[in-house]
Structure 1
Amino acid sequence: MNDLSSAKPLLQVDDLRVSLPTARGWAQALRGVSWRMERGQTVGLIGESGSGKSLTALALMGLLPERARVSGSIVFKEQELVGLPEPQMCQLRGARMAMIFQEPMTALNPLHPIWKQIAEPLRLHQHMSASDAKARALQLLERVQLPRARERLDAYPHELSGGQRQRVMISIALACSPDLLIADEPTTALDVTVQKEVLRLIQQLVREDGMGLLLISHD
């Protein structure tokens, strides 16, 4: 019988600290954050605005401001991420770990149709042709239950509602079947009814794919 207690976690964060430069010197934005996430587990990160929730997510994704100072340890699938060179982070980001941002209108590119934005990680990480990536984009949009998905492949972000844009963001995050999904207040810009739909959808997709989910919320 396997000893589950000895299994390696999907994500292990130990004493994570982030300092940012200010006009008055260095400010400690994160101080000693630690937690462990198993495969298939959901971890909630809750705190008031300005408490460092999004900064924690950016640290995990390697997207902190250029001058930020980071110490501690982030081990993802037995690989240390703190200090990992950018080319190696790029291989993980969007492929093995992905993020749903809280405001899709600013995260999506207004100049490209949505299928191209979903196809980008597929072409980058899985080297799909444009036609194959577009077909996969349609499958992903149908999976996240975007109404009239085929008709909307060539739509631009401004032509969709807030809830529809968030479903596009989820499609992008799921494109390469990541092991870790970070949802940074994914329902902030949505009304209450749509919030419930999106959270239920994320929960269903995480359960089906066995991903680890870090769900960030101020509520």
Structure 2
Amino acid sequence: EYSVNANMNGAASRHLTANKPDTLTVSGLTGDKTYYVRVRSYTNRNGKVYYGAWSDVKSIKTANNDITKASVSGISTKAFTGKAITQNVTVKVGNTVLKNGTDYTVSYSNNKKVGKATVKITGKGKYGGVITKTFKINPAKQQIQKLTTKSKAFFVDWAQKGSATGYEIQYATNSKFTGAKKVTITNNKTDKTTVSKLSANKKYYVRVRSYTTVGGTKYYGAWSATKTVTTKK
């Protein structure tokens, strides 16, 4: 039941005939108006209806505006840091920039690990409704720690990332990596390898990146800075 009167005079009601779900949105009300709300349960037994006591009455003020019509910017792909990641969110209705904490609040979920994170923008004050957006958290940028020459080969040692599932080493004979070849390391505890069967006395451009598999989807970190090595005979 809900009413504009604290004593529930003139209350309207909504009757749910199943015990699930346990939530309800009541729409079509007057904006910027205080409503008083209470709930009770009932049970049917042998054709009779037994009612529980009403809950305590709570009040809520309806919003004048629907925040779901607003535009949201400032949400972008981020790199893993090991800490909870947030966004610099801007919410606008037309040319008006809404205020965080006054017109809306922001909350996050799944925003610490590599994968898909969620940002939830909930209307407040004059604004009602919820906007939900997602963003990717990719593995952290890789780093080549050592790159040394060998006979028709090179040895590369990169940073071990705790968030990674595996690594990719890409190498080419040009800085644009045209026609590049790739070595995939599927063991995240392996942080070094030797790439062999190369041409002798040849300059190679090398870079490394991490990847993490979450729910069957691969998330790739940024490539390391490119380093060069010239193979021996």
Q: Counting strand residues as a fraction of each chain, which structure ranks higher?
A: 2
Q: Is TM > 0.5 for Structure 1 vs Structure 2?
A: no
Q: Say which structure, 1 or 2, has more relative contact order (CA 8 Å, 6+ apart).
A: 1
Q: Counting helix residues as a fraction of each chain, which structure ranks higher?
A: 1
- What interval of TM-score do these two structures reach, taking the shorter chain for normalisation? under 0.3
Q: TM-score, with normalisation over the residues of structure 2?
A: 0.23
**Bigger-Rg structure (1/2):** 2
